[in-house]
Amino acid sequence: MTRLAVYPGSFDPITRGHEDLIRRGLVFADRVVVAVATQVAKEPLFAIEERVALARETVGDEPRVEVRAFGGLLVTFAREIGASVIVRGLRYVSDFEYEYQMALMNRKLAPAIETVFLVPAFDLTYLSSSLVREVARYGGDVAALVHPVVAEALERKFRPG
Ligand code: PNS
């Protein structure tokens, strides 16, 4: 039986931290579907098509990873694709409360789907999409934080022409 994990998020944009989590997910899952949320809490910097395209380019031709957009409830999407595991990263204690709440609600909605929290690589724990956006917005170097296609997309967004 193939074990499919879904790794959901806003991915606005995908970072080296997300890439690390995808690789870690592949340790215990046969396939990982990176699920890019159509509706996100705040107005995203990148449109859903851009977030999906950047994630696809970042993942490259890894055959065990697929990038898909999803709307509505995560558990509905997870069921549709046959995922048995939801992967989320935990960086800080401050992540915990929200993640714990979400995991319990997702379990209430879909008891057969387990949430698994993964700890990122030590040197990537400080990384988040919002910090990457802020650094790029003010002209900082994001080369070590994101795939080159994402760095280029940020450059185009903040310094067009
Ligand atoms: O990268 P983020 O913004 O922390 O990701 C949050 C995300 C998209 C995973 C979460 O908001 C989500 O699952 N949204 C879809 C709607 C849903 O199912 N909400 C959770 C119910 S508990």
User: Which comes out higher in pLDDT, residue 144 or 161?
Assistant: 144
How large is the average pLDDT for residues 137-143? 97
The CATH number for 134's domain is: 3.40.50.620
Catalytic residue numbers?
Answer: 18, 42, 91, 129
The partner residues of 36 in beta bridges, in order of sequence, read: 9, 69
Q: Say how many Å lie between the CA of residue 149 and the centre of ligand 1.
A: 25
Q: 102-111: buried (b, 16+ CB within 10 Å) or exposed (e) per residue?
A: ebeebeeebe
Mean pLDDT for the chain overall: 96
Atom of ligand 1 nearest to the CA of 72: 16
The total number of structural domains that make up the chain: 1
Q: Closest Cα to atom 20, ligand 1: which residue?
A: 102
User: What tens digit of pLDDT does each residue of 84-136 get?
Assistant: 999 999 998 888 999 999 999 999 999 999 999 999 999 999 999 999 999 99
Spell out the residues 6+ positions from residue 26 whose beta carbon is closer than 8 angstroms to its own.
32, 64, 65
Cα 40 to ligand 1 centroid, rounded to whole Å: 8
Residue 52 CA to residue 12 CA, distance in Å, equals 9
Query: Does pLDDT of 161 surpass 80?
Result: no
pTM for the whole thing? Answer: 0.97
Q: How much is the pLDDT for 94?
A: 87
Give 159 or 116, the one with higher predicted confidence: 116
Question: Closest ligand 1 atom to the C-alpha of 88?
Answer: 9
Write out the residue range of the structural domain in which residue 55 sits. 4-158
